[in-house]
Amino acid sequence: MTTQSADSKKTALDAIAVQVNACTACDLHKNRTRGVPGAGPADSEILFIGEGPGFHEDQKGLPFVGQSGKLLEQLLAKIGMNRDQVFIANVVKCRPPENRDPMPDEIATCTSAYLFKQIEILSPKVIVTLGRFSMGLFFPNAKISAIHGKVKWENNRAYLPLYHPAAVLRNMGLMGDMEADFRKIPELIKEHAQRNKPPADDPGSKSGGATGGDENTPKEEPPQQLSLF
């Protein structure tokens, strides 16, 4: 796959944002104030995926700007990062009425039209899922309480399922797990670099090396296979 420049990625992401705000593919558009395509640098190595916009996100057209967003920023700060370094998106791009759960058909429509295309454009090294709906896209039939913080590597990408910040705000007893899971994020970036580190040159493979020989050395004839007939 051809690597896109940051500028070409931004152009493609901006085009998706325009499409989101004009979208009428499901009933969620009927109650939206603004679509919430996602936000962050086009060359980000980390993609956070939440559930869907809430009241404040619907008003501003940006993801995670309410209390959940404040907690997300605090958690990022504890690992030496800020939200300007990561891309943040949601499973659905329009607010479900009265903050209800998104329906399966809404998730299917929105992810195929927008989220999966954003992932393809961004090509992040790490995808962090926040809550059970984004987790379900990559960990089908799993329970967040059982797999939070457990990393899956697939196609040279790390997937890290975490609790949604809103769940932590409702149950502060989850904060310790959330902080511990967040600390894995910078480690995954380092691990990705190690996994993609080019192999060191083999000195013996170079011409004239200790085991390389020279052009005057007689070549060993390959063994001949005996005929079976």
Rounded CA gap, 206 and 153, in Å?
A: 34
* pLDDT value, residue 200: 77
* pLDDT value, residue 28: 98
Rounded CA gap, 191 and 95, in Å?
A: 36
Mention every residue, 6+ apart, whose C-beta is less than 8 A from residue 139.
Answer: 129, 147, 152, 159, 161
Terminal C-alpha separation, the chain: 48
* pLDDT value, residue 152: 98
* pLDDT value, residue 2: 55
Assigned CATH topology for domain 6-197? Uracil-DNA Glycosylase, subunit E (3.40.470)
pTM, entire model: 0.86
* pLDDT value, residue 207: 45
Q: How far are the Cα atoms of 146, 154, 208, 212, 213 from residue 216, in angstroms, in the given order?
A: 64, 48, 11, 12, 8
Name the residue type at position 69. Answer: G
Domain boundaries, the chain: 6-197
Spell out the per-residue pLDDT of the chain, length 229, in tens.
457 899 999 999 999 999 999 999 999 999 999 999 999 999 999 999 999 999 999 999 999 999 999 999 999 999 999 999 999 999 999 999 998 999 999 999 999 999 999 999 999 999 999 999 999 999 999 999 999 999 999 999 999 999 999 999 999 999 999 999 999 999 999 999 999 999 876 555 444 444 444 444 444 444 444 333 3
* pLDDT value, residue 203: 54
* pLDDT value, residue 4: 84
